[in-house]
Amino acid sequence: MNLNLFNTLTGKVEVLAPEPGKPLGIYACGPTVYDYGHIGNFRTFLEVDVLRRTLKLLGIPVRHVMNITDVDDKIIRNAAALNQPIGEYTARFEKAFFEDLDALRVQHPEIIARATEHIDQMVKLIQRLAENGAAYQTEDGSWYFRLAAFPAYGKLSKKDLTGMVDGARVDVDEYEKDSARDFALWKAAKPGETSWDTPIGRGRPGWHIECSAMSMEYLGETFDLHAGGEDLTFPHHENEIAQSESVTHKTFARHWMHVRFLLVEGRKMSKSEGNFYTLRDLLIKGFKASSIRLALISVPYSNQMNFTVDGLIDATAAIERLRTFHARLVEAHLEPGSTELKASAEQAETTFRAALANDLNTAEARAPIFELVRMANTALDKNQMLAGDRDAILETLVFFDSVFDVMEDHDAEATRHAIEWAVAEGRSAEIDPKLMAGLSLSDADVDNLIAERTAAKKSRNFARADQIRDELAEKGILIEDSKEGVRWKRK
């Protein structure tokens, strides 16, 4: 099955397919590692994760490159304030970034490319641009891209620059540029700032050049897909196209995918609005990593989504439904054979795949899975499910989870890491007290208490049994009695 994906460049939904015999090349803009990632950042990485998992589901091999921007103005400023080398400063946030990705079960790209490790490639690109007359050096030693050298500028963001007049917003720092809209390729070293000694002078790279240099390094001069947040369309991606195509005279990326922004509680996320969340903020407040993952990916990437605490609670309930069902299904004692439920499971899988193949419509993809859960629960209630049905349903769930990845419970681990981090950072006061109470009880402790409750129930000592259940509930542990025995879960 083909993946149909909206292409920002053409404004149409088009088939995304690799060249015969080659993996599909993806370059996705990664983080600037100057702070902890917020949920807006992670929405983008999560949606790209949905993309790569869907490609795999459809049998399309992937070569996915992500950059790490580990040198820029903010990094230099913040590292200087702490009196640290920038490498030491960025290492901390890069590590945190990958811990967060792991908590959210975002698969790692095949290739991680750090800007500071590709200075040579960037310098060579700037040299080639200079040879073409598309780059020029100013008196202070900085290099700029000459927009006038690239008439197609604006084709991605659909901007017509002919009506834009120079001079309106000239940065005082950049008075030497030929045109106010020319952008920096290379920034001349300022005293005390991190810099590299290169054939084009001492300095550091501008922001856009790293993505051109590193995508070409790992994916070639033309590649299949470039992805990122919608804010990057202009100027970042537009500038990448200008730089790259001015050198190669070939199409840079054939397909462009942009993830829409999210709102938080109906408003733009911002620190001043008080609705700015890092992943870690949410984890230590007691929200589960899986809930955050499901909430963020359940709205298709192409739609603006409203991230809310209520939405997180909803996602938690939805995941509980799936996990409870899965446990019930696995435990059930079934006779051999199969019923029409088997065909329903196969149909659900087909619908699931088709929805994802249709521009990654995750909302539509979820629906047949939940419908299947309801049908299967009904059959289990009526004792009408057979072993062959179960096999088919489990298979469908495997495909579902190969993209959604919320069935298995890894949440306690992610939460524990976040708590350890908060303690180490001196932010213990922000940790939800119930979370701490729950963690004080080990799985073995819970099992022991449940055994005691079962014994109490057997001797019809319901008062004691209910007391144990209430005690556990206070620590966020819920008990479910079933035919197959007692199940429990951490809320």
For RNA, the binding residues in 138-177 under the rule CB under 7 A are: 157-158, 169
Please, which residue, 303 or 448, has the CB nearer to RNA? 303
Q: Is residue 235 within the footprint of RNA (CB under 7 A)?
A: yes
Q: Report the residue from 381, 429, 440, 442 that binds RNA according to the rule CB under 7 A.
A: 381
Tokens read off for 398: 């495997």
Indicate the angle between helix axes 309-331 and 387-404, nearest 10 degrees.
150
| Closest CB 425 distance from RNA, rounded Å | 20
In b/e form, how buried is each residue of 288-305, taking b as 16+ CB within 10 angstroms? bbbbbbbbbbbbbbbeeb
Residues 190-229, interacting with RNA (CB under 7 A): 206-207, 228-229
Q: Is residue 43 within the footprint of RNA (CB under 7 A)?
A: yes
| Closest CB 68 distance from RNA, rounded Å | 11
Lay out the site mask for RNA across 57-76 (x = CB under 7 A, - = otherwise): ---------------xxx--
Residues 350-379, interacting with RNA (CB under 7 A): 361, 363-364, 366-367, 370-371, 373-374, 377-378
| Closest CB 481 distance from RNA, rounded Å | 3
Asked if residue 56 lies in contact with residue 93, where contact means CB atoms within 8 angstroms, the answer is no
Q: Is residue 32 within the footprint of RNA (CB under 7 A)?
A: yes
Indicate the angle between helix axes 340-357 and 39-57, nearest 10 degrees.
120
Residue with tokens 């083909």: 2
Residues 314-343, interacting with RNA (CB under 7 A): 314-315, 317-318, 320-321, 324-325, 328
Q: What's the full length of the chain, in residues? A: 491
* Residues whose CB falls within 8 Å of the CB of residue 91, separated by 6 or more in sequence, listed in order: none
Residue 286: how many CB atoms within 10 A of its CB? 18
| Closest CB 487 distance from RNA, rounded Å | 8
Residues 404-463, interacting with RNA (CB under 7 A): 457, 462
Q: Report the residue from 68, 129, 188, 305 that binds RNA according to the rule CB under 7 A.
A: 305
Amino acid in position 327: A
Q: Report the residue from 110, 193, 231, 432 that binds RNA according to the rule CB under 7 A.
A: 231
Q: Is residue 41 within the footprint of RNA (CB under 7 A)?
A: yes
Please, which residue, 373 or 403, has the CB nearer to RNA? 373
Q: Is residue 246 within the footprint of RNA (CB under 7 A)?
A: no
Lay out the site mask for RNA across 71-100 (x = CB under 7 A, - = otherwise): -xxx--------------------------
| Closest CB 42 distance from RNA, rounded Å | 8
Q: Report the residue from 340, 447, 480, 484 that binds RNA according to the rule CB under 7 A.
A: 480
Beta strand 135-137 pairing with 143-145:
antiparallel
Residue with tokens 């019930």: 328
Lay out the site mask for RNA across 175-194 (x = CB under 7 A, - = otherwise): -----xx-xx----------
Q: Is residue 232 within the footprint of RNA (CB under 7 A)?
A: yes
Indicate the angle between helix axes 340-357 and 362-381, nearest 10 degrees.
170
Q: Report the residue from 259, 385, 403, 446 that binds RNA according to the rule CB under 7 A.
A: 259
| Closest CB 131 distance from RNA, rounded Å | 23
Beta strand 183-188 pairing with 143-145:
antiparallel
